[in-house]
Amino acid sequence: MGKRVLLADDHDVVRAGLRSILAEIPEVAVIAEAQNGREAVDLCRELCPDVVLLDVSMPELNGFDAARKIVALDPAPKVIAVSMHAEMRLVNEVLKAGASGYVLKSNAASELAPALNAIFTGRMFLSPGVTGSIVEQYLRYELSQGSSPLAILSPREREVLQLLAEGKSSKEIAATLCVSVKTIDAQRGQIMSKLQLRTVAELTKFAIREGLTSL
């Protein structure tokens, strides 16, 4: 049986390009496409794909937290992050979230086939574009709770932070996450306290700098 792939990227042209590349790989079939991280998680629960090609920067739910939710499913799909960025910090975060591979969009045509082969034979795949000094830094990097400013936030707080940064109101966030507005307001206060930030504008700048959103 062929490998079933789910594409998750908020740009139509990128998904079309990835779909075209995958069409040339034997025994690989694209079964669904998602335009944001939350939709990707929902489709994984519904369709149980073998692998998810996941953009790192997406609206609603970023690739880091989407990957964390996806690899926690049973059965758990493999996740390959597909990004235009080669920064060690982003590679580190997505691998910590449970991704099995990291492919640069600029190299997708030549790297997707070996990436899929690697993860389905129990190995990891890192784009040559993020190797060398970047991977050397990563291998020396301490994967601890204090490794990133985001580490002091809970997964739910990161979700709330991203949605706040994307301009959602407390009411809209509460509806998305199925909690009360009072809960969201309390979590916003906790986030500001932990990050020592005072305004939503400061939260937005922080979320963009840390790769939670590309706005």
Question: What mean pLDDT is predicted for residues 49-64?
Answer: 93
Question: What mean pLDDT is predicted for residues 82-110?
Answer: 88
Same topology for domains 3-140 and 149-209, yes or no? no
Question: Coil, helix or strand for 51?
Answer: strand
**Distance, CA of 160 to CA of 44 (rounded, Å):** 22
pLDDT at 133 over 50: no
CB distance 119 to 125 below 8 Å: yes
The 10s digit of each residue's pLDDT in 167-183 is 899 999 999 999 999 99
**Distance, CA of 112 to CA of 138 (rounded, Å):** 22
Give pLDDT, residue 143: 46
Taking alpha carbons only, the member of 153, 196, 176 closest to residue 37 is 176
The 10s digit of each residue's pLDDT in 29-42 is 999 999 999 999 99
**Distance, CA of 103 to CA of 43 (rounded, Å):** 22
Give pLDDT, residue 142: 47
Assign domain 149-209 to a CATH class. Answer: mainly alpha
Question: Coil, helix or strand for 31?
Answer: strand
Question: What mean pLDDT is predicted for residues 110-139?
Answer: 79
- Per-domain residue ranges of the chain: 3-140, 149-209
Question: What mean pLDDT is predicted for residues 83-88?
Answer: 84
Give pLDDT, residue 144: 45
- % of residues, the chain, pLDDT over 70: 90
CA atoms within 13 A on the CB side of 127: 23
Q: Which helix (H) or strand (E) holds 69?
A: helix 63-70
Residue 44: CB atoms within 10 Å: 25
CATH superfamily of 3-140: Response regulator (3.40.50.2300)
- % of residues, the chain, pLDDT over 90: 59
Full-model pTM? 0.75
